[in-house]
Amino acid sequence: MKAYRVVLERDASGAWIATVPDLPGCHTYGRSLVEAKRRIREAVALWIDDAAEAAVLEHDVRLPRRALAAVDESRDARARLEKERERAGAATERAVRTLVGDLSLGMRDAADLLGLSHQRVQQLVRRGS
């Protein structure tokens, strides 16, 4: 399966122009980025048999440097947040096991100490069983 680079740029009207440099003449546009991506897949399928589903399209979205930096910063922050969320979840599960399992506290007391609902503590106890 071959990968094709798709260059996506905005024109003066604000529409997205999508071109595939490896396929001369293969281009399209869309009023939104999503529409342009969908249409370029259809255009590639006209050039290559079975490309509608099988071709790998690598999108090269052309934006001003500061816009790309803002997008990268946002993606990085969300990735860090997701990792922290996973760590917080694991720490909460350990705390529930310690409070309810080791210390034999009631679920309502454990919930109060952790700032959770007793129903959430109950879910975590069941999952740990």
Instruction: Note the pLDDT tens digit of each residue in 58-81.
Output: 999 999 999 999 999 999 999 999
* Helices and strands of the chain, counted as H and E runs: 5, 4
- Alpha-carbon distance of 43 to 76, in angstroms, equals 32
Integer-rounded Cα Rg, in Å, for the chain is 25
The token pair at 109 is 């007391």
Listing DSSP states for 63-122 in one string gives --HHHHHHHHHHHHHHHHHHHHHHHHHHHHHHHHIIIIIIS---HHHHHHHHT--HHHHH
Tell whether pTM > 0.85.
no
Q: How many CB atoms lie within 10 A of CB 112?
A: 14
Give 29's pLDDT tier (boundaries 50, 70, 90).
very high
85 pLDDT higher than 60: yes
103 pLDDT higher than 80: yes
* Residue in 46, 53, 54, 49 with CA at minimum distance from that of residue 20: 46
Least confident of 44-48, 86-90, 95-99: 44-48
What residues does CATH 3.30.160.250 cover in the chain? 3-62
Q: CATH code for 3-62? A: 3.30.160.250
Contact in structure between 125 and 100 (CB atoms under 8 Å): yes
